[in-house]
Amino acid sequence: MVFLLNCIKGIFIGSGAILPGISSGVICIVFGLYEKLLDSLLNFFKDIKNNLKFLFPIILGIGIGVLIFSNFLNYFLTTYPLQTKSIFIGLILGSIPSLLKESNNNKNINNLKTIDFLFLLFSFLIGIFLVALEKYIPDNFSNSFNFLYLFISGFAMSIGVVIPGISNTIILMLLGVYNIYLSSLSNIYLPVIIPMGLGLLLGCLVFMKLTNFLLKNFHTKTFFSIIGFSLGSIFVLIPNISSFLGFSIFFLSILLGFIIFSLFNKKD
């Protein structure tokens, strides 16, 4: 059962690497996997057996999510945007109380300092700015890129993979490679996938080490910054609502997101 649940979580994480406005890092946070994933990946060879047992179903799910199920999730986002986006909002909001507790190493939240909340506010505002920025970025600038540029694009993309609340979409659109990235994944076009994949792997290693260092040395402030980015990312998911029925569906779907979060996080 744990294997299956982690595989399903991986599918959502993989889908987050493709879908506009959705951060894979936020999905990791929502499912309570973020710190454990960082630790398992960075210390893989210290305990290969247990790390492989934990990572394999998630990585399998990520592969399935990227190659197959992202299309299904994209279908729901296109066909049922109100319900799907609202569920994602519910998942994120449902995770916040436990994240606040975990950010302070499960100590009393009253012990938190004002500066911790300032970190949250600052990252929250940056998250909102990035969401607003996405609307003004053209989808593509060119159809031809060399190996080095694609490698750099993959490296830059890793920021959105590792740091919750920063969407891959924004980064790839800024670099003008978003459309060619999607097209190459759909058609398994290796001349684009390989350099971007190599850059992505190197970038993930660099930014995971950086994030892990910050979590170990500035745990509360780093976690509050991550929470702020996650909350800021909600604004890209807020659907257009024009009726009482729409508001009803919106709130019921958010509630469903809360329920899904609690079901997925009963056990690790």
Q: What SS3 string covers the chain?
A: CHHHHHHHHHHHHHHHCCCCCCCHHHHHHHCCCHHHHHHHHHCHHHCHHHHHHHHHHHHHHHHHHHHHHHHHHHHHHHHCHHHHHHHHHHHHHHHHHHHHHHHCCCCCHHHCCHHHHHHHHHHHHHHHHHHHHHCCCCCCCCCCCCHHHHHHHHHHHHHHHHCCCCCHHHHHHHHCCHHHHHHHHHHCCHHHHHHHHHHHHHHHHHHHHHHHHHHHHCHHHHHHHHHHHHHHHHHHCCCCCCCHHHHHHHHHHHHHHHHHHHHHCCCC
Choose between 148 and 165: higher pLDDT: 148
Predicted confidence at residue 267, as pLDDT, reads 47
Predicted confidence at residue 163, as pLDDT, reads 79
Q: What is the pTM of this model?
A: 0.66
Residues spanned by the domain of 192: 2-264
Using a pLDDT cut of 90, give the percent of the chain over it. 17
Predicted confidence at residue 25, as pLDDT, reads 77
Is residue 110's pLDDT more than 90? no
Is residue 251's pLDDT more than 90? yes
* Lowest-confidence segment of 1-5, 58-62, 202-206 by average pLDDT: 1-5
Is residue 186's pLDDT more than 90? no
Summary mean pLDDT of the chain? 80
**How many domains are contained in the chain?**
1
- The residue-averaged pLDDT of 240-247 equals 88
